[in-house]
Amino acid sequence: MIEKGRLTVRQLGSLMFLCTIGEQIIVFPSMITSYAHQDAWLSALLGVAGGAGVLSIMLVVYKLQPRMNLIQHALHTLGPWIGAFISSFYLFYFLISTSAFIREIGDFMTTQILPESPLIIVNLLFVCTLVWGLLSGLEPIGRSAEVFLPLIVLFLLILTVCLFPQSHLDNIKPVLGEGLLNPFKGFVAVLTYPYCELCIFLMLFPYAKKEAHWEKDILLAAIIGGLMLTLTLTICLLVMGPFMTQHHWFAAFNLSLKINIGNFLQRIEAFMASVWIIAVFFKSILFFYSFVLGMTHLFKLSSYRPLILPGALLILAMSIVLAPNENFYLKVVIPYWIDWDLTCGIGIPLLLIMVHKLKARLRKG
């Protein structure tokens, strides 16, 4: 087996939580509110329930071939030609997703924190941290996730508690005032962005130690991550209202600017930025790891480590050419990403399940 490292269930759950909130902790409120408006909180709650169903489908796919990751499973189940095509499709998805996460970090830092810094320099620094983390191995990544998880939860709870006195229930009224269509669109968006992207864990499940109730722990971590996103979204709606939430792309960061308790506790937006950067780091490194590991299996190489540096340079270039500016990324790239995530997170896993069961029936016949 190419990957010798092993993750404990706690480490896998920590990575699941961090990957669920990922880059969404900052952009999730604006994105979902643009679809569902004042009913975005309702879409988020329903999306968490639907997300548990999506993750259940992925667990079914994994249990069909528990010793194989997603790329190996596709090659084994669909054959060398169709399997290679599906594997290449996933590898391109991992590549573009990693580049998009880095681009979001670059756009955030160059517009909110370091406005005078060149985009490529910020992206390069982030890519260097990914290379360093990936060279350390899978187990150190899991242990680091365990360390940072309580810190992120603490910062998010501080944000919620400090802003709760400024909330107004009138901002989420009337409930379902625009009908069911917009909340349904928001539900599909919630189902897509945090949860369909968890298909990345089909590359990690074979390298985790299977302890008792591990499936329930994984589902619980994903649900708690979704509820944290829902809580952040609801606070944004209650404090800023649906219009301001929708038109602030980094809504949660802008929300942290409003914290001021007795002219003493204020200007903690750097903590919110730290939460987002840490979460995006772990999500990006999982996608980067899956890209180089999948390439290793597809081309039958002996190790993925020689691919790390070339892969990093490719991801850095893609993060720059992905979009000419932030508006293009928001208006053109993001809307079509829903179809891509649904295909990778639901469509192809269901295809693998059906083909596997059909082949099993043919063998019995």
Mind listing the pLDDT tens digit for each residue in 9-65?
888 889 999 988 887 777 788 888 888 888 888 888 888 888 888 999 999 999 888
Instruction: Tell whether the torsion through CA atoms of 273, 289, 95 and 218 is positive or negative.
Output: negative
pTM: 0.92
Using an 8 Å Cβ cutoff, are 33 and 233 in contact?
yes
Mean pLDDT throughout 169-173? Answer: 77
Token readout for 57 is 């489908």
- Long-range contacts from 320-324, C-beta under 8 angstroms, 24+ separation: 320/103, 320/119, 320/120, 320/123, 322/96, 322/99, 322/100, 322/103, 323/103
Which has more confidence, 81 or 269? Answer: 81
Using an 8 Å Cβ cutoff, are 135 and 308 in contact?
yes
Residue 325 has pLDDT above 60, yes or no: yes
The pLDDT of residue 8: 87
Residue 62 is which amino acid?
Answer: Y
The pLDDT of residue 231: 86
Question: What is each CA distance from 63 to 26, 29, 202, 213, in whole angstroms?
Answer: 34, 34, 10, 14
pLDDT in tens, 120-144: 898 899 999 999 999 888 888 989 9
Residue 277 burial (10 A CB sphere; 0-12, 13-18, 19+):
middle
Residue 2 has pLDDT above 80, yes or no: no
pLDDT in tens, 10-20: 888 899 999 88
Taking the C-alpha atoms of residue 237 and residue 256, their distance in angstroms, rounded to an integer, is: 13
Longest Cα separation, the chain: 76
Using an 8 Å Cβ cutoff, are 140 and 6 in contact?
no
Share of the chain above pLDDT 90, in %: 18
The pLDDT of residue 329: 66
User: Reduced to 3 states, what is the DSSP secondary structure of residue 206?
Assistant: helix
- Phi and psi at residue 223, to the nearest 5°: -65, -45
Helix axes 214-247, 24-36, angle to 10 degrees: 60
User: Reduced to 3 states, what is the DSSP secondary structure of residue 115?
Assistant: coil
Residue 38 is which amino acid?
Answer: Q
Residue 143 is which amino acid?
Answer: R
Share of the chain above pLDDT 70, in %: 93
pLDDT band at 166, cuts 50/70/90?
confident
Residues β-bridged to residue 111? none
The pLDDT of residue 288: 93
Using an 8 Å Cβ cutoff, are 30 and 248 in contact?
yes
For residue 112, the 8-state DSSP code is I
Mean pLDDT throughout 305-327? Answer: 85
Residue 264 has pLDDT above 60, yes or no: no
The pLDDT of residue 94: 93
pLDDT in tens, 91-113: 999 999 899 888 888 888 888 77
Residues β-bridged to residue 266? 260
Token readout for 354 is 């059906």
Which has more confidence, 306 or 251? Answer: 306
Token readout for 197 is 């992207």
C-alpha dihedral, 283 to 287 to 288 to 294, nearest 10°: 160
The pLDDT of residue 1: 60
Residue 91 is which amino acid?
Answer: L
pLDDT in tens, 278-294: 888 999 999 999 999 99
Other Cβ atoms less than 10 A from the Cβ of 354: the count is: 11
Helix axes 40-64, 24-36, angle to 10 degrees: 120
Taking the C-alpha atoms of residue 365 and residue 48, their distance in angstroms, rounded to an integer, is: 40
Taking the C-alpha atoms of residue 42 and residue 175, their distance in angstroms, rounded to an integer, is: 9
